[in-house]
Each structure stands twice: as C-alpha cells, then as structure tokens.
A and B are shown apart, each in its own frame.
Chain A
C-alpha cells in the first residue's frame, strides 16, 4: 500500500540516490579522461593573471578601435539580419506545424523533423559545410546562423502557439471566421509578445555566435580577432574582446528594456 509516509520516504531515498549517482558519474569520467579537477581549479588564478597581463588593452591599442568597431557593427547587422529572416521563415513553418493551427499530422511530423534536424547540427558544423559552397564570405556566416536559428525558432514558436493561442483561436472559429482570419486576428496578435521576446533572445545569441562563425568564414569581428591573435598582438585582441563584451551587454540591456515595454 502506498501511504503518504512511505511515499515521502521513497522520494527522500530517490533524491539521495540521484545525488550519489551524479557524483559517481563525475568521478568516473574524470578518471577516464585523466582530468584533475583540483589541479585545474588551482591553475585558474594563474591563468587569469596571465590573461590579464597579456590581453590588457594599452594606450597603444586605441588606434585599432575604428577598424574593430567597423567590423563589429557589421557583425551585429549580420546577426540581426539572419535572425529576422529566420523568424519570418520560422513563424510560417510553425503555423503549418503546430498542433492547433497546423495541417495533417503528417505535415506536423515533417515540420518537427526538419526543425530538429536544423537545430541539432552544431553551428560550427553548419559553417564548415557551407564553406564548401559559398567560400569565405559574409553570406556563409549569414546562412549558418539562419539555418540554426530557424531550427530553434520553429520549435519555440510552435510551443508558443500551442500554449497561448488555442483558446482564442477556438473563440474566433466559433464566430464563423475563416482560417486566415483566425491566424491574423487571433493567433498572431496573441503570441506577438512571446514571439518578440524569443527573437530578441535569438539576436543576442547570434551576435555572440557570429563572432565564432567569423573566425571560420574569415569575416567580421571574428576574423579581426583571429588576425590579431595569430600575429601576437594580444593587446589588440584584448581590445576586440572587450568591444564584443560591451556590445553584447548593451544588446542584452536594450532587449530587456524592450521586453519590459511589450510584455
């Protein structure tokens, strides 16, 4: 018999068991990898002080600023452009694929499959694959970011539609409204705040990722960083990183403000 007392006791044992299990997985894997956790932690202060000394921008690195910022702005634009295009594609596909607005269950399954395919190929892999066809160019980076964002956004948008729009949809359907009227008058207005919130998050994310993709595609701020780094101009590389951090934080603050207004 399941009594409340033995239910709670069992739950307690399950929690203890889970903690022990996670601990042993950590120990086992660090033993396999010969990874020395304690030694690693001990090395952290030294590593950071090395970084602090070598990557510290100096008065001299200020004259790199114009070219750094020019590239940085280009990279931010690239991230925004790819996210915006990805969002437009994703909203169309999500409407086709969601349980409440979608087509047949076959269409829904296909959409889910496509979204999961694009999402689960790592960004770096996308960039490498696309390099073959589009060479080292901004377009390669744009496309890599686009494909991955589409995968994430389709999934997110479908869940938003299913959670937030099904009740109002039903109400408009009951008035005799047609499918497209229901989509435009109920579904889109209802989900708009969550949609924008996700798009902002994706832009923040893509600005960070765009720098990484730039290293591979030889464009944008990632390329600048790569050059400074490989030519041992660590102070200029440090200046680049600092600029990226400032922009990413500024974007985050800005999008939080936008969220506050729209939600």
Chain B
C-alpha cells in the first residue's frame, strides 16, 4: 500500500507548488491524477520516488517512509517503483532489450551494472516482458528506430522488469497519437490488475482518465480538489477543474 500524508513542496518561498496532499492507494488500483498544467502533477509524481526533494510530510510504501530513507535504502525503494515518462527517456542508441534490462540495474552490483552483465534469467524475463507488450520481434532493434507508441511500451517493459509495487507515469500518452494512446492505456490497466500493482498516471485527457482509471484525483494550484472512484464522477464535475471561474472561487 502507498500512503501519502501531508505532502508539501515549494520551489520558491511563499509560492507553494503542493499543499497538504493526502491519499492512499491499494495494490491493483489504477489512479489518474488530472489537472491543468502547472497544477503540480509532475511535482507529486517525482516526490513519490524522491527525484524531487519535497519539504514535508510522509510517503509510506508498505509502511516504510521513503522521505527519511538513507541513500542505500532509497535505492531499495526506487527499484520497487517503476517510472514511465512522456518522452520515454530511453537510451536511443541502445537496443530495445538493453533498455528493458536497465530496469534491473537497481538489483545489481555496481560493476555488473556498469558493464551490463545480466543473468540468463534476467534476459529471459526481458524477452517474456517484450512479448507481453507486443515487441518480441524488436528486441535487437535500436530504440531510435521505433515509433512513439513502441518506445512507450519499451518504457513500460523497463519498469515491469523492476518487479515494481508502484508504477508512476508522467503524461505517458501526451506525445502519442490516439490509437497508440488507447493501446498504452489499455496495457497499463491490464498490467495493474495482472501484477496487482499500483499505477499512478498524470493525464490531461479527462475522457481517457474516466475510461481506464479506477480512481481520479483532481489537482489545482497544488491542492487536491477531489479524490473519487472514476464512475462516481461526471464529466461535468471533472471539467470544472479546468474552469477559470471555479478556480477563482476556490481561492
């Protein structure tokens, strides 16, 4: 279980980017975080694996606090948390399978990792995961030769090989065409159930959030505006999140 309590962050004094964020998620749940750009979605996600150092609160993964972990402990937490990026963030020059295997680095000794010495079992698993995301034929292709949708599926396979408890996706489909977006969202939804993991995705598209997510958290100006099961929310309520007038009222 992932619990976030009283999370706070400001990049500049007196301009909070996040104020008092609270939520907890059970395994097997797909959560969408929606909100206008600049609302603080990326800041939340990157605080969860401490790529951004937040200012206060607690982030508990199965009871252990990431925020107070030392360097080695943090490495241990990070390998249980996969991350998927808008721009895929693959090493474009390397092959698909090498990029997938990067997800194992957190489990390896420094030297074995530096020189990319992976075990047979790890290679076998990489192939199995590539099959799962429909890219087994591309294993030895360079990532630079793939389409956006294919790259994102490599990114997802890289996070799965970490055996994660949580996958964080920052705008995973913002650079994709509608068809690839559907494929990637469906894949994330299926994997969440199959592996019983927590998947948290920042999204811009309200429609897709409603179609695929189990739960939707709305963020505006760094504050949580709602946190409900997705079938409880009408699109009208969701759209108020982006409405300028309602924004004024809330302040």
Chains A and B come from one and the same complex:
yes
Q: Which one of A111-119, A174-182, A253-261 is at the B interface? A: A174-182
In contact, A192 and B103 (Cβ under 8 angstroms): no
In contact, A177 and B90 (Cβ under 8 angstroms): no
Shortest Cβ distance from B182 into chain A, in angstroms? 24
Given A168-B90, A190-B92, A190-B93, A178 and B49 contact (CB-CB distance below 8 Å): no
In contact, B79 and A171 (Cβ under 8 angstroms): no
Given A178-B110, A185-B114, A172 and B93 contact (CB-CB distance below 8 Å): no
Contact residues in A for B90 (Cβ distance below 8 Å): 168, 171
Q: Is B51 an interface residue, CB under 8 A from the partner?
A: yes
Contact residues in A for B158 (Cβ distance below 8 Å): 171, 175
Given A175-B158, A176-B78, A185 and B105 contact (CB-CB distance below 8 Å): yes
Contact residues in A for B85 (Cβ distance below 8 Å): 167, 170-171
Contact residues in B for A181 (Cβ distance below 8 Å): 105, 108, 110, 113-114
B66-92: CB near A (< 8 Å → 1, else 0) gives 000000000111110111010101111
Contact residues in B for A170 (Cβ distance below 8 Å): 51, 85, 89
Q: Is A184 an interface residue, CB under 8 A from the partner?
A: yes
Give the distance in Å from the alpha carbon of A174 to the alpha carbon of B155 in the complex: 12
Give the distance in Å from the alpha carbon of A171 to the alpha carbon of B172 in the complex: 13
Q: Which of B183-216 contact A (CB under 8 A)?
A: none
Shortest Cβ distance from A249 into chain B, in angstroms? 30
Q: Is A17 an interface residue, CB under 8 A from the partner?
A: no
Contact residues in A for B49 (Cβ distance below 8 Å): 174
Q: Which of A153-208 contact B (CB under 8 A)?
A: 167-168, 170-178, 180-181, 183-186, 189-190, 192-193
Q: Is B102 an interface residue, CB under 8 A from the partner?
A: yes
Shortest Cβ distance from A188 into chain B, in angstroms? 9
Give the distance in Å from the alpha carbon of A171 to the alpha carbon of B89 in the complex: 6
8 Å CB contact of B114 from A167, A171, A184, A193? A184
Give the distance in Å from the alpha carbon of A184 to the alpha carbon of B91 in the complex: 11
Contact residues in B for A192 (Cβ distance below 8 Å): 93
In contact, A168 and B89 (Cβ under 8 angstroms): yes
Q: Which of B79, B91, B94, B113 has the most CB of A within 10 A?
A: B91
Q: Is B116 an interface residue, CB under 8 A from the partner?
A: yes
In contact, B79 and A176 (Cβ under 8 angstroms): yes
Contact residues in A for B87 (Cβ distance below 8 Å): 167
Of chain B, the residue at the smallest CB distance from A165 is B91
Shortest Cβ distance from A80 into chain B, in angstroms? 24
In contact, A175 and B82 (Cβ under 8 angstroms): yes
Residues of B in contact with A, size category: 20 to 34
Q: Is B106 an interface residue, CB under 8 A from the partner?
A: yes
In contact, A172 and B114 (Cβ under 8 angstroms): no
Give the distance in Å from the alpha carbon of A183 to the alpha carbon of B92 in the complex: 15
In contact, A185 and B83 (Cβ under 8 angstroms): no
In contact, A177 and B91 (Cβ under 8 angstroms): no
In contact, A175 and B93 (Cβ under 8 angstroms): no
Given A176-B76, A184-B114, A171 and B83 contact (CB-CB distance below 8 Å): yes
Of chain A, the residue at the smallest CB distance from B74 is A176
Shortest Cβ distance from B103 into chain A, in angstroms? 5
In contact, A177 and B83 (Cβ under 8 angstroms): no
Q: Which of B99-132 contact A (CB under 8 A)?
A: 102-103, 105-108, 110, 113-116
Contact residues in A for B77 (Cβ distance below 8 Å): 176
8 Å CB contact of A180 from B92, B106, B114? B114
8 Å CB contact of A190 from B81, B82, B91? B91
Shortest Cβ distance from B129 into chain A, in angstroms? 14
Q: Is B162 an interface residue, CB under 8 A from the partner?
A: yes
In contact, B115 and A184 (Cβ under 8 angstroms): yes
Give the distance in Å from the alpha carbon of A186 to the alpha carbon of B85 in the complex: 15
Given A176-B105, A181-B110, A193 and B91 contact (CB-CB distance below 8 Å): no
Instruction: Pull 29 A–B residue pairs with CB atoms less than 8 Å apart, ordered by A.
Output: A167-B87, A167-B89, A170-B89, A171-B83, A171-B85, A171-B89, A171-B155, A173-B78, A174-B49, A174-B51, A174-B78, A175-B78, A175-B82, A175-B83, A175-B102, A175-B105, A175-B162, A176-B162, A178-B105, A178-B110, A180-B113, A181-B110, A185-B105, A186-B91, A186-B102, A189-B94, A190-B91, A190-B93, A192-B93
Shortest 8 CB-CB contacts between residues of A and residues of B: A176-B106, A176-B79, A177-B105, A171-B89, A176-B78, A181-B113, A174-B83, A184-B114
Given contacts A177-B106, A190-B92, 20 further A-B contacts (CB under 8 A): A167-B87, A168-B91, A170-B51, A171-B90, A174-B51, A174-B83, A175-B83, A175-B105, A175-B158, A176-B77, A176-B105, A178-B75, A178-B110, A178-B113, A181-B114, A183-B114, A185-B102, A185-B113, A185-B114, A190-B93
